[in-house]
Amino acid sequence: MNTRVLTGITTTGTPHLGNWAGAIRPAIQASTQPGVDAFFFLADYHALIKCDDPARVARSRLEIAATWLAGGLDTDRATFYRQSDIPEIPELCWLLMCVTGKGLMNRAHAYKASVDQNTAKGVEADDGVTMGLFSYPVLMAADILMFNAHKVPVGRDQVQHIEMTRDIAQRFNHLYGREFFVLPDVVIEEEVATLPGLDGRKMSKSYNNTIPLFEGGARALRAAVSRIVTDSRQPGEAKDADSAHLFTIYRAFASQAESAQLRAQLADGMGWGDAKEALIQRLEQDIAPMRDRYDALISNPGRIEEILQAGAQKARKLAQPAIEALREAVGLRNLTSGPVQAAAGAKKAAKGARFVSFRDDDGSFRFRLLGADGNELLVSGSHADPKAAGALTKRLQQPGVAVVTLDGLAVVASLDGAEVARGAPAADAAAADAQAVQVQDALASLAQ
């Protein structure tokens, strides 16, 4: 069985050297591996959350598509498409929104960061927060679940969204009585290169420290490299390659032998100007052939459009039957098809509480107790071993084993006298008592 891997690229900017080394190149390489079914898409609906400049979004869609194709993406092997060309994705997003608790969205990092910034400014908490920003994780879940991706490579800042996708998928599966969705696993690629920018910080447009990949041609690349900050050591003085971000960039593109040679030359006193020239030549060795392909593609957008439309057709062969099955499951079926036998069972299943496991940002494992309405009742402490967390959820479901108490206004569940999970503090004592009853009822229903 192939492993389906899915990656989205938000279309709000022009790719730079850091994007290529850190995301595009490793993804293209991974797509060539045996047993990998790769899905790459231009996340242009997501772009609308961040950018209200239509010209910028349109240009970015063209540039990013051309970059992936110029970089060698095999579209016969991988599925390459625009998010906005798959109408089943926003439809699935709505189906998922109808089963997703607002409380889950309240905990999303991007939303919380916006609220914190507004609080610091002394303005209304939701000032400037659009529903696109607030519900962004649900659209991301639809992207992933539409094609039942097994693995989703992301940076650490996106781990929470994959865990939310798992929560949403579990909720939908539970409500409608079937395993409609695969629960995706997050993949954090620790060894993927993170390139420093011109000033040594992470290469990012936010810092205005990027080296262009194709934009501006060879002249722009040379001009950017010439601005890389170096120390004050003169030609003839030994230089420490490991403390020079110029060398870090070089090493991301060079072979081990080439890197060893430049390291030795720096130690022998090579001047920074010569080192920058060596970096330019090494970059051009890889980038110049791709740049030629990129320029040809950019000048022929019709060809890119053909490739993306072919990718959309390929993707919709999976999306269309999947959305039909989901429409049937939720009751949006043809009136002549008759009742679905699983409907009664699904309705019964919808009334149950459940445990949901997840992986925290620090890599530890935790679990939540959700009520029948999908609201969070308890959250566990952290566990290094997922099996340990799973063992606790099993014990909590045994009749009469868990002890539910109040710690101030927070509900606490204990096993053998030790706290294993607690709820968020209630607004007042009456609400805390009500929450304790909810927890007790939820655990009692699971024990049955």
How far CA 190 is from CA of 7, 23, 153, in Å, comes to 16, 12, 10
pLDDT tens per residue across all 448 residues of the chain: 789 999 999 999 899 999 898 889 989 998 999 999 999 999 999 999 989 999 999 999 999 999 999 999 999 999 999 999 999 999 999 999 999 999 999 999 989 999 999 999 999 999 999 999 999 999 999 999 999 999 998 877 788 999 999 999 999 999 998 899 999 998 876 555 678 999 999 898 888 999 999 999 999 999 999 999 999 999 999 999 999 999 999 999 999 999 999 999 999 999 999 999 999 999 999 999 999 999 999 999 999 999 999 999 999 999 999 999 999 999 998 877 665 554 444 444 445 788 888 777 677 788 888 887 778 888 888 888 878 888 888 888 888 778 888 888 888 888 888 888 998 888 888 788 888 888 888 888 887 6
Question: Are 42 and 83 contacting, i.e. CB atoms less than 8 angstroms apart?
Answer: yes
CB-based contact 367:356 (threshold 8 Å): yes
Residue-level pLDDT at 338 = 60
SS3 state of residue 35: coil
Tokens of 86: 């798959």
Q: Residue 215: which region, alpha, beta or left (left: phi > 0; alpha: psi -120 to 50)?
A: beta
CB-based contact 140:174 (threshold 8 Å):
no
Q: Mark the binding-site residues for L-tryptophan, compressed into ranges.
A: 143
Nearest-10 crossing angle of helices 159-176, 342-349: 130
String of DSSP letters for 214-249:
STTHHHHHHHHHHT----SPPTTS---GGG-HHHHH
**pLDDT at 217 (0 to 100):** 95
DSSP 8-state code for residue 122: T
Buried b / exposed e along 78-103 (16+ C-beta atoms within 10 A): bbbbbbbbbebbebbbebbbebbbee
Residues whose CB is less than 8 angstroms from the CB of residue 301 and which lie 6 or more positions away in sequence, other chains included: 62
Q: How far apart are CA 232 and CA 229, in angstroms?
A: 10
Question: Closest by alpha carbon to 422, among 437, 405, 447, 442?
Answer: 405
Report pLDDT digits (tens) over 84-116: 999 999 999 999 999 999 999 999 998 999 999
Task: Name which of 103, 88, 91, 96 is nearest 172 in CA terms.
Answer: 96
Say what the pTM is. Answer: 0.74
Which structure tokens are listed for 360? 């925290």
Spell out the domain ranges in the chain.
Answer: 3-190+300-330, 205-287, 354-446
The answer to whether 145 and 169 have CB atoms below 8 angstroms apart is yes
Fold of 354-446: PH-domain like (2.30.29)
Q: Which two tokens stand for residue 373?
A: 């309405």
Instruction: Tell me what pLDDT residue 189 has.
Output: 64
Q: Right CATH number for 3-190+300-330 from 3.40.50.410, 3.40.30.10, 3.40.50.620, 3.30.43.10?
A: 3.40.50.620
pLDDT tens digits, one per residue of 55-71: 999 999 999 999 999 99
* DSSP code of residue 212: B
- Residue 360 per-residue DSSP state: -
Binding residues: 10-12, 18-19, 143, 155-157, 195, 202-206
Residue positions in the annotated binding site for ATP? 10-12, 18-19, 155-157, 195, 202-206
* Fold held by 205-287: Tyrosyl-Transfer RNA Synthetase (1.10.240)
Same fold: 205-287 with 354-446: no
